[in-house]
Amino acid sequence: MDYALLWFVLLGVLLAGYAVLDGFDLGVGMLTPVAKNDHERRILFNSIGPLWDGNEVWLVTFGGALFAAFPEAYATVFSGFYTALMAVLGALIFRAVSIEFRSKFKWGWWRGLWDGVFFLSSLVASLVFGVAIGGAMVGVPLDERGVMRATLMDQLGWYPLLVGAMTVALFAQHGALFLRLKTKDELRERVDRWAWRLHGAFALLWIAVTVATMVALPHALTNFAHAPWALLVPVLNVLAILNISRSMKKGHELAAFFSSGATILALVFLLGVAIFPNLVASSPYPEHSLTIHNAASSEKTLWIMSIIALLGMPCVLAYTTVVYWTFRGKVELDEHSY
């Protein structure tokens, strides 16, 4: 494995880590209307209070790694998708502000305002994240210098929007399964009903995206002919989705949540297989695509980055494990809660 391929894999790990961890707190944000009163909304906020900022570190690290390892792809993505990325950045900033600001005063209109901002920003971030994934699958028009020649409307085709809708349902389901671990009594029962509805919505959209990919994007399946072992992942993906409903029916909360995480991991893996060796696929001129080799930094840069990652990743994983273990269990409110 050369360094360019190694960093393509590591970028996939960072993207998967972000999707699994921040996916559920984006889902919690989209589920705030489930709460009937301020006490229940505080429980929802505090379920992710100690975790959300650490989860977003994975996205920041992904952006930094893309900049250092594949600077041409970084420049193309961040200039071509400028409007969409500003929307995501604004949504993530407003999410953070709403979490911190809503608890500063007890005025009803004040908390209602930031609750609405928290819901909308979580929805926008999830939708744009999915649309970007769908756009990466379809490809974008690049010229011979790797510069994107597309307007915002060009990036909003039916397939990216379909993937965006599936991502919203997936993250909302992931958030509901997380809340089953953190809530109790009447709120827990209401969350459980929403988890079933969202699981059904995700399953239907997952089938629609799968069929659409096979019919409209046959090039996404090309790499499976060269690596038939990768066909095991779609099978595991189906088993993980089926195990979500099985675990919910049996009351196995942790198994349902981990199965939802496994579903996200499988989808990120399939994305990597579908676009490989491209980082930014060009359509309709594939020869203009930015690949992991023509967009990569020098071998020495990638080697230095590999050493830093080897030292840093265990620290990140250890920190994440300690935080999640410390704040395990049902949410209990006190005077220091949001």
Contact residues for 299 (Cβ-Cβ < 8 A; gap 6+): 3
As a whole number of angstroms, the distance between CA 113 and CA 261 comes to 31
Q: Using the Cα atoms of residue 249, residue 254, residue 259 and residue 264 in order, give the sign of their dihedral.
A: positive
| pLDDT of 122 strictly over 90 | yes
Domain residue spans of the chain: 3-327
d(CA 177, CA 27): 9
When mean pLDDT is compared across 109-113, 153-157, 171-175, 261-265, the lowest value belongs to 153-157
CB of 28 closer than 8 Å to CB of 175: yes
From CA 233, how far away is CA 262, in angstroms rounded? 10
CA distance 73 to 315: 28
Q: What is the mean pLDDT of residues 42-57?
A: 90
Q: What is the pTM of this model?
A: 0.93
The string of pLDDT tens digits covering residues 180-226 is 999 998 999 999 999 999 999 999 999 999 999 999 998 888 888 88
The percentage of residues in the chain with a pLDDT greater than 90, rounded to a whole number, is 62
Instruction: Identify which has the larger pLDDT, 116 or 225.
Output: 116
CA–chain centroid gap for 329, Å, is 24
Query: For the segment 137-165, what is each residue's pLDDT rounded down to a tens digit?
Result: 888 888 887 777 777 777 788 999 999 99
pLDDT tier at 167, thresholds 50, 70, 90: very high
Cis omega before residue 277 (within 30°)? yes
CB atoms within 10 A of CB 76: 22
- Provide the mean pLDDT of the chain: 91
| Dist CA 247 CA 239 (whole Å) | 12
- Mean pLDDT of the region 25-34: 93
Query: How many Å apart are CA 218 and CA 133, to the nearest integer?
Result: 16
- Torsion of the alpha carbons at 128, 26, 56 and 179, rounded to the nearest 10: -160
pLDDT at 16: 94
Q: Which has the closest alpha carbon to 186: 38, 46, 40, 47?
A: 40
